[in-house]
Structure 1
Amino acid sequence: MTEPTPTTGLQFRAGVQEDYGPVTDWATDFDLMDEDYVVHPEQRWSEQRERCPIAFTERRQRTWLPVRYEDLTEIAHDVERFSSRDIVVVSPFDQPINDLMPVPPISSDPPVHTWARRLLLPAFGPTAIEKMTPITRGLANDLIDEHFSDGHGDAASDYARHIPVRIIAQMLGVPVEDEDKFTGWVVRTLQNGFQNIDGAMDALGEMTMYFVGAVAERRAMEPGTRPDDIITMLIEAETDEPISDQHLLGTCFLLLVAGIDTTWSNIGSALWHLATHPEDQQRLRDEPELMPMAVEEFLRFYSPVTMARYVTEDTELAGCPMKEGDKILMAFPAGNHDPEMFEDPDQFIIDRKRNRHFAFGSGIHRCLGSNLARMEIKVALETFLERIPTFELADPDAVTWTGGQVRGPRCVPITS
């Protein structure tokens, strides 16, 4: 297996790290990294929905921001005009990410997407989820024993961030002891990559070499003696054409990164909500059977992920003239607050009956790990409520959020 060098030939997009100053008009100059937007995005979505349902900016590059459920659904299902070649909300390169560092299937279009996704389905099916459920519960209990024995701790950094990384590490077949390394890569790429491109590129290079080693180790083993994990499954997969090393490594990147930051954010948001809404916390304690509905409402209300699409040809959508090469931000969280789709969308309703959210996306790229994420969130919340007495924020001013590609709390100190 050759050793890819992901930084070779990459051209950084001019201006990505520039300071553009404050936003003066959100219809024509929005900024996903604006501090107020990160903390209270629903206010911006509501204003935009009334004034300009598809906003535009030329900060960093030509980018559109739709916030209506209907528009987002149309874009997600139109893979001809709106490609997944560039899924990064702020591109540091002059080419779509899939042309440089593919992370299939999420950065692929049909027909590659079709077989690339099919390869992974068994790893996230019911049998796999059933196997990982008791492991997740044991992990949650261990974290509580380690960090919350005195009723104090950080629900985000001491609890939420550890669960998804340790679970996906076991599924991939890489050492759980490397957790800090994995989380560091996620922070350097997804959370800090917009401000520190060099750091993000270094992280990508480190990930590449890490998985080069993991793949080489399995290939050196005789079939039948390899570990039962996702990397082995991909190496041994039977496909019409051999899976390239680039495809294999990109899929490993995707599963590691996507399997960490998103669920970390979901669990953290839910625990922040329960710490600041004692009536919902008490209701889940009194009526634990509501947990599945509550999980769906946490997913809708605090949807963490915004993806992007690449405009493949000059076209028009809802009266907006889009040019080839433009980027569209798939603000699924905004669609989940659309009053045309949800009654009282900016109210958290713990037993919401009609809840057709798309926190996991829509169309062919709907998250294939959605059932794993649901299980992790449910188990994490159930275990926390079972083990921790009634809790609240220890210091509301200490709470911090991150935004951009994935939005969620990173510091949630609680006390019981």
Structure 2
Amino acid sequence: MAQDTTRTRPPVTDWTTDWDHLDPNWRDNPYPIWDDLREKCPIAHTKRFLGAYLPTSYAAVKAIAYDTKSFSSRRVVVREVRPEPPMPSPPISSDPPHHKPAKQLLLPPFTPDEMKKLEPRARAICNELIDKFIADGRCDAAQMYTRHIPVRVIAHMLDVPESDGDQFIQWIHEILELGITNDEILMKAVHEMSMYFAGYVEARTRKPGDDLISRIIMARQDGKPLPPQEVLGMIRLLLIAGIDTTWSAIGSSLWHLAKTPSDRQRLIDEPKLMPTAIEEFLRAYAPVTMAREVVQDTVIEGCPIKAGNMVLLSFPAANRDPAMFPEANKVIIDRQENRHSAFGLGIHRCVGSNLARLEMTVAIEEWLKRIPEFRLDPAIPVTWSEGTVRGPRQLPFIFG
């Protein structure tokens, strides 16, 4: 569950000059906020978070994502404090020229061919989870299904116990939600995660295998192994970036299908539509916002941007821009032209996009095979996460 920040944070009264992505209105339904901001100003600003900008148009988000001279990726989360130095998590926290070699190290394990090898295990995981609740005729799909799929898949890829998944989930919650406003919780979670993986790094250094940890250890840059801190940073990144993002996307997709029976039935009747439906779910319910640090004054879409501030790079807001997507606030599962930014734009486009697509496809296909009829439980509210990643955290379904 997300941290309740409503008691300690003053409510937003003007989103153009005092925005706050931890505000409950943003958490519960950010789409009207983004629509209103696009009409009023291309880029909003707030004095919160030590000063931060918020672009809501596709053009502004794209311009910032591609400008690696004015905007640094050394900080990728808008937080209350900015510790020095930032914790390295290459390649996501790297700037040119260091970014490209770091990213190239991670590309081979995430090719389409590698994903085909992973698919049988991913499908088995989905069915193992469904087996636990299908006879009940109801479940909290967020707690019992969506959050476990990417956790267990990435554990399988790293060759660490899938049974440690609850610990991974706790760390993700502390880093991406609670850690935004509590530095002590953040650092404790990062330290615990680093200590956990340090043991596996030591063991795989002595006896490497074919797993993802071994691949990172055996990787070479300029003929040299990666420094230990970079190895741990990459592994942390794989866990943090590969879990919450995808389980949120799966959850939002199932939430949509639960409240839109026509789309659900169409996917059952026309399974060939699944690839375009996945892209549309990614566009309409993109879970991830990243951040950049402004390192030199510049101008974006006519708006002066001052060094020393942060930028909340809202890919979800960009994906709802009607200037880029006709009927942007309508989910069209056979939308043909769909150049969404759910996986980011520019050099930091997500390394794991093929994995995310696989997990979403498998999760929805296996669910529809086993539970073709389902709806939201009207007696229990759907709740959403807050912070860097947005997705359902309580998703009550009735079926059967």
Give TM class, smaller chain: over 0.9
Does residue 113 (structure 1) correspond to residue 96 (structure 2)? The answer is no
Deviations 1:57-115 (A, max 9, x none): 011211000011011111111101111011012253344xxx33100000001111111
Deviations 1:232-264 (A, max 9, x none): 111111221431111110000000111100001
Show the counterpart of 1:77: 66
Show the counterpart of 2:314: 331
Does residue 235 (structure 1) correspond to residue 221 (structure 2)? The answer is no
Q: Which amino acid aligns with 2:387?
A: G
Does residue 381 (structure 1) correspond to residue 367 (structure 2)? The answer is no
Does residue 165 (structure 1) correspond to residue 151 (structure 2)? The answer is yes
Show the counterpart of 1:53: 42
Structure 1 residues 109, 183: closer, same or farther in 2, change over 3 A? same
Q: How far, CA to CA, are the matches of 2:132 and 2:284 in structure 1?
A: 30
Identical positions, percent:
51
Q: How far, CA to CA, are the matches of 1:260 and 1:326 in structure 2?
A: 28
Q: How far, CA to CA, are the matches of 1:100 and 1:193 in structure 2?
A: 14
Show the counterpart of 1:255: 238
Q: State how many pairs are aligned.
A: 394
Are the counterparts in 2 of residues 265 and 409 from structure 1 also a CA contact under 8 Å? yes
Q: Which amino acid aligns with 1:147?
A: F
Q: Which amino acid aligns with 2:361?
A: K
Show the counterpart of 2:22: 33
Show the counterpart of 1:6: none
Show the counterpart of 1:302: 285
Q: Which amino acid aligns with 1:142?
A: E
Aligned residue for 2:368, secondary structure, equals helix
Aligned residue for 2:299, secondary structure, equals strand
Show the counterpart of 1:62: 51
Are the counterparts in 2 of residues 29 and 57 from structure 1 also a CA contact under 8 Å? yes
Does residue 134 (structure 1) correspond to residue 124 (structure 2)? The answer is no
Aligned residue for 1:414, secondary structure, equals strand
Query: Per-residue deviation at 1:314?
Result: 2.0
Stretch moving more, 54-63 or 396-405: 396-405
Aligned residue for 1:310, secondary structure, equals strand
Are the counterparts in 2 of residues 308 and 327 from structure 1 also a CA contact under 8 Å? yes
Structure 1 residues 401, 18: closer, same or farther in 2, change over 3 A? closer
Show the counterpart of 2:133: 147
Are the counterparts in 1 of residues 90 and 233 from structure 2 also a CA contact under 8 Å? yes
Alignment of 1:367-378 (within 5 A): 367-378=350-361
Stretch moving more, 167-176 or 84-93: 84-93
Q: How far, CA to CA, are the matches of 1:220 and 1:132 in structure 2?
A: 26
Structure 1 residue corresponding to 2:13, chosen from 14, 24, 27: 24
Q: How far, CA to CA, are the matches of 2:356 and 2:125 in structure 1?
A: 15
Are the counterparts in 2 of residues 306 and 333 from structure 1 also a CA contact under 8 Å? yes
Does residue 219 (structure 1) correspond to residue 205 (structure 2)? The answer is yes
Q: How far, CA to CA, are the matches of 1:356 and 1:405 in structure 2?
A: 22
Are the counterparts in 1 of residues 54 and 313 from structure 2 also a CA contact under 8 Å? yes
Aligned residue for 1:398, secondary structure, equals coil
Note the aligned Cα RMSD (angstroms). Answer: 1.6
Aligned residue for 1:309, secondary structure, equals strand
Does residue 174 (structure 1) correspond to residue 174 (structure 2)? The answer is no
Are the counterparts in 2 of residues 32 and 404 from structure 1 also a CA contact under 8 Å? yes
Q: Which amino acid aligns with 1:101?
A: M
Aligned residue for 1:202, secondary structure, equals helix
Query: Which sections of structure 1, spanning at least 5 residues, go unmatched?
Result: 1-15
Are the counterparts in 2 of residues 20 and 59 from structure 1 also a CA contact under 8 Å? no
Show the counterpart of 2:336: 353
Does residue 344 (structure 1) correspond to residue 296 (structure 2)? The answer is no
Are the counterparts in 1 of residues 61 and 314 from structure 2 also a CA contact under 8 Å? yes
Are the counterparts in 1 of residues 72 and 95 from structure 2 also a CA contact under 8 Å? yes
Q: How far, CA to CA, are the matches of 2:217 and 2:137 in structure 1?
A: 45
Query: Per-residue deviation at 1:327?
Result: 0.6
Aligned residue for 1:100, secondary structure, equals coil
Structure 1 residues 227, 17: closer, same or farther in 2, change over 3 A? farther
Q: Which amino acid aligns with 1:78?
A: D
Are the counterparts in 2 of residues 269 and 302 from structure 1 also a CA contact under 8 Å? yes
Does residue 313 (structure 1) correspond to residue 292 (structure 2)? The answer is no
Q: Which amino acid aligns with 1:77?
A: Y
Structure 1 residues 91, 116: closer, same or farther in 2, change over 3 A? farther
Structure 2 residue corresponding to 1:292, chosen from 275, 278, 293: 275
Aligned residue for 2:397, secondary structure, equals strand
Aligned residue for 2:59, secondary structure, equals helix
Are the counterparts in 2 of residues 32 and 38 from structure 1 also a CA contact under 8 Å? yes
Query: Per-residue deviation at 1:17?
Result: 11
Aligned residue for 1:392, secondary structure, equals strand
Structure 1 residues 409, 107: closer, same or farther in 2, change over 3 A? same
Does residue 199 (structure 1) correspond to residue 185 (structure 2)? The answer is yes
Query: Per-residue deviation at 1:285?
Result: 1.5
Are the counterparts in 2 of residues 17 and 194 from structure 1 also a CA contact under 8 Å? no
Are the counterparts in 1 of residues 78 and 180 from structure 2 also a CA contact under 8 Å? no
Are the counterparts in 2 of residues 153 and 413 from structure 1 also a CA contact under 8 Å? yes
Structure 1 residues 354, 270: closer, same or farther in 2, change over 3 A? same
Does residue 90 (structure 1) correspond to residue 79 (structure 2)? The answer is yes
Query: Per-residue deviation at 1:18?
Result: 9.5
Query: Per-residue deviation at 1:20?
Result: 3.9
Q: Which amino acid aligns with 1:322?
A: I
Q: How far, CA to CA, are the matches of 1:229 and 1:262 in structure 2?
A: 22
